[in-house]
Amino acid sequence: MNTLNKVAAVTLLFWLMKITATTLGETLGDFISMTLNLGYSVGIGVTFLFFIIVITIQLSVKKYIPFIYWMVIVSTTTLGTEISDFIDRTLKIGYFSGSLILAGGLSVTLLLWYKKYNSLEVYPLFGRDKEIFYWIAILFSNSLGTAFGDFLSDNLGYTYLEGAVITGSIILVVVLLHYFTRINHVVLFWIAFVFTRPFGATFGDFLTKPILKGGLNLSTLYASLVSLALLFLMITISHYRQKKLPPVT
């Protein structure tokens, strides 16, 4: 039976990497479906295959390995982008209704997780069944965050930069609540986890969308490469720190 921790500790570096990974997920997802003109259905197929490959590797390893873990995070953010856009633009359900559907999926996942383990602790994490709940919740939360970010810009009319400021402000409030109140830290974690996704999504759109729509008009490929380089730098730092720490058992 595996008793070694399988996931990243929730630190400042974790949140910086999460935001970078969500920005990469937005720009890479748009690169696949829009720049390459493959469409959202093919985009889901490509990103789902990537997700299956990396999640299989993650579930098979015996301990937390930063590179593998963060590739799964990237796969969920990229797949989440395609799922959100598919719901809105292919199925014509809309970002608001799509957000409600994805929020329902996340709520059911967390409810079943809590019902089975009487806890939603995310670190340290042991056992394959609990880890599967963890990754399903992350996939729903990243898809939800994408839909909500697009809802801010497409439905409420905020610019991409304004959307990033709004979601960034929510994250700041959650951080303050963590340090200055007694609100359950697991609840705050999932709120922050959801809202780092629209922050990354709106920031990614701010980098790549046309200037007339409030973006900087950078190419999705260039923005993805920059985000990927930053993420690999932080993964390298994470590997270095991991080697210096005793294993969590």
What would the pLDDT profile of 162-210 be if each residue is shown by its tens digit?
877 888 888 889 888 988 888 888 888 888 888 888 787 777 777 777 7
pLDDT at res. 209? 75
Distance from C-alpha of 162 to C-alpha of 180, rounded to nearest angstrom: 27
| pLDDT single digits (tens) 78-112 | 888 888 888 887 888 888 888 889 889 999 999 99
Say if 75 falls within a structural domain: yes
Distance from C-alpha of 78 to C-alpha of 25, rounded to nearest angstrom: 4
Say if 6 falls within a structural domain: no
| Contact of 141 with 99, CB cutoff 8 Å | no
Say if 187 falls within a structural domain: yes
Say if 5 falls within a structural domain: no
Return all residues near 216 (Cβ < 8 A) that are at least 6 apart: 206, 207, 208, 209
- Tell me the pTM: 0.86
Domain that holds residue 204: 12-244
Say if 21 falls within a structural domain: yes
